Chains A and B, each alone.
Chain A
Amino acid sequence: MNKYLLSAWALALGTGTAVAHITLETQEAAVGSTYKAILRVPHGCEGKPTTAVRVQIPEGVISVKPMPKPGWTLQIKKGKYEKSYQLYGEAVTSGARELDWSGGSLPDEFYDEFVFRGTLAADLPAGQTLYFPVVQECDGAAERWIEIPAAGQNEDALEYPAPGIKLLPKK
């Protein structure tokens, strides 16, 4: 068989890499500060409208509050943190672990943003990247923006990278 034909065939079969990812607008923040996260959703899943966006809150991001959105049902899944954090002199041991906007419909050709804010704990390691895995659900399909690069791995090699921010030293 012709090699080019084969390649074309394989190309047609293999899913093409995503052109645009779900990302955070502000891509760096200092530890110990309050961070306003703006999740940018540039398209649906393979042409289908987005019906739900779920974000996992990583350990060390406390006192999280999502911004309500007209047309979407907002849910906060709460849980215990792995350890206790100090916030304005008070110990905090639990809070939001997952935010869930659902019941809406964002067509593939439209763009939208999903917003929440939270405090980056002071003891988060500055210089590293903190990831917020996102599951984008559409009607009968899903795209999971949950891949975290292994040590030394290039982030560009990932098909569905989780959005993340670079942690800066405490101001």
Chain B
Amino acid sequence: MSVASFRWTTCRFGKRAGWLAIGLLAAIMLLAVIAAPNRALAHAALVTTDPADGAVLGQSPTQFSLTFSEPVSPLVLTLVRPDGTPVALTSFRLSDQTVEIGNPEVLGAGTHVLSWRVISADGHPVGGSVMFSIGAPSAAPVVSEAVDWGLRSAIWTSKVLLYIGLFLGVGGAFAIAWLAKGGRSGQRFAIAAMLCGLVAAPLSLGLQGLDALGAPLAHLAQPVVWQTGLGTSFGWTVLIALMALGLGLLSLVGPRADSKLFAFAGLVCVGVALAASGHASAAEPQWLTRPMVFLHGAGIAFWAGALAPLGLAVRRQPAEAGLFLHRFSRAIPYVVVGLAAAGIVLAVIQVQMPRALIDTAYGRLLLVKLALLIFLFTLAATNRWKLTAPAEAGETEVQRRLVRSIGVEVLIVLAILGVAAGWRFTPPPRALAIAAAQPASIHIHTLKAMADLSITPGHVGPVAASIVVMSGDFGPLDAKEVTLVLSKPDSGIEPIKRPATKPGDGTWRVDDLVIPVPGRWTARLDILVSDFEMVKIEAPIDIRP
């Protein structure tokens, strides 16, 4: 085979590989869209449990149920007996937002703990426990709910390394292929970053599995941990990120002719990988958030990736770097506008209320990120509008300043990536607000009458109550009047009594209601069945702070 035909073959092969890569990419994006759950709201919050937390039951329940603010899948369900021995609960049924768990054994007297760990659409596991007693409370068994800081640091580190691989590595490869005009400065840096990412990506999958199962770091080698990690939506992120890293590497070390194609596909994969999981991607409306996360991620990769190759090019070969600098500075304003717009849209969706910026850990991280961004934008703007033109003209002193400034920019970008990785552990205010808005609901059942009462939102402050009354045997009950009486004898508050109105949809409503303090209230319904007969039914209801 002649040299020429060999080159032709590689060239053809490279082209084919390029088209293959694009086809594969389209298939993955399609899959990701199909696989994306329709009702993803992110970061599930526990709404009610049966038995209720702190309940004292007369006899062993046949089943438990946990109701969340959105559909979840259970990862680990454990019942801890009063003597501290755990029982794994394996039989459960999902019905909408409720997990119904079968109780395999008759429980003895004493305090039990139902410990749960579930995962929802954003791929972030959440856990908690419910304590209840049979007969009478005993000393509560010890359940470790402590945060595993070792695992958390490992997750955070792997996340930062993955970001470095995607943004600085794949982004760097894109800049080298598309902007550097044949220059190869920063190639080794980008390759090193991508290798970092290649190590971090699979590792983060295992760590995700550990977090999902609530297992310690020592269990990393167990296959079930990896299966669990892969089963979460983060599994998609890792798979697509691995493709992005592979494509980025291919664009730098593969056939030159197709380097642009590979680099572009890699950049697209970075956006898709980020859009596949995480708080922001799981937020509603999905048609808006997923494309916004894609734009944001691809934009960051374009900008952050170009910094190191650009800085190194200006330092080493100022003469050839002029064109690189020119192209970058021409494109960057548009990229930053798109990046910032997508970021603002996502921040508004996630934070909702300006107060949440200060009140929540998520909001505080966002403020830190914004402060770093302002610093970064100032530097970038100075570089773009003050230093670029003289540097392109060949002023060596300005070129040196530009290189230093770009170095600082890279450091700030790293700090921002570190902050962004911290969001992995903080539910966004949006999810917290969804949890807070959930109603407090009870079902009161007596021989004479029964009722479903829900107070929305189920926390202190102005609320509305909705009541459905039925006869004791589930028949219709056409009450003449219904009065809601809320009392909390232990707090010295006299009963709050409000007549309910009939909006005409078969329910009774009380609108002008304010609940002053949280805790266990007694809800009583006075149902006037006929002119001379009133049925009073009551049950405790828990009001959140």
Contact = CB atoms under 8 A, between A and B. Distances in A.
Contacts of A14: 494-497
B531 interface: yes
A9 B532 contact: no
B528 interface: yes
A164 B211 CA distance: 67
Nearest to B531: A135
Contacts of B531: 54, 56, 135
Nearest to B516: A6
A144 interface: yes
B534 A6 contact: no
Contact of B534 (A1, A11, A15, A146): A146
Given A11-B494, A13-B497, A133-B533, 13 more contacts: A3-B492, A7-B492, A10-B493, A10-B494, A13-B494, A14-B496, A14-B497, A54-B531, A144-B528, A144-B534, A146-B533, A147-B534, A147-B536
Contacts of B534: 144, 146-147
A1 B516 contact: yes
Nearest to B485: A14
Interface in B4-49: none
A56 B534 CA distance: 14
A55 B533 CA distance: 12
Contact of A9 (B495, B497, B516): B516
B517 interface: yes
Contacts of A9: 516
Interface of A: 1, 3, 6-7, 9-11, 13-15, 54, 56, 133, 135, 144, 146-147
A9 B495 CA distance: 11
Interface in B390-440: none
A14 B483 CA distance: 12
A10 B528 contact: no
B390 to A, nearest CB: 63
A10 B532 contact: no
Nearest to A15: B497
A158 B58 CA distance: 28
A152 to B, nearest CB: 15
A146 B497 CA distance: 18
B532 A7 contact: no
With most chain B CB atoms within 10 A of its CB, the pick from A14, A135, A147 is A14
Closest 9 CB pairs of A and B: A14-B494, A133-B532, A10-B493, A56-B532, A10-B494, A11-B494, A14-B495, A146-B532, A7-B492
A3 B491 CA distance: 8
With most chain A CB atoms within 10 A of its CB, the pick from B494, B496, B516, B517 is B494
A56 B491 CA distance: 39
Interface string B479-503: 0000000000001111111000000
A9 B492 CA distance: 11
Contacts of B536: 147
B496 A13 contact: yes
Nearest to B494: A14
Contacts of B496: 10, 13-14
Contacts of A147: 534, 536
Contacts of A11: 494
B448 to A, nearest CB: 10
Nearest to A6: B516
A133 B528 CA distance: 13
Contacts of B492: 3, 7
Nearest to A162: B532
A152 B533 CA distance: 19
Interface in B528-542: 528, 531-534, 536
15 contacts: A6-B493, A6-B516, A7-B494, A9-B516, A10-B494, A10-B496, A10-B516, A14-B495, A14-B496, A56-B532, A135-B531, A144-B532, A144-B534, A146-B532, A147-B536
A55 to B, nearest CB: 9
Interface string B248-290: 0000000000000000000000000000000000000000000
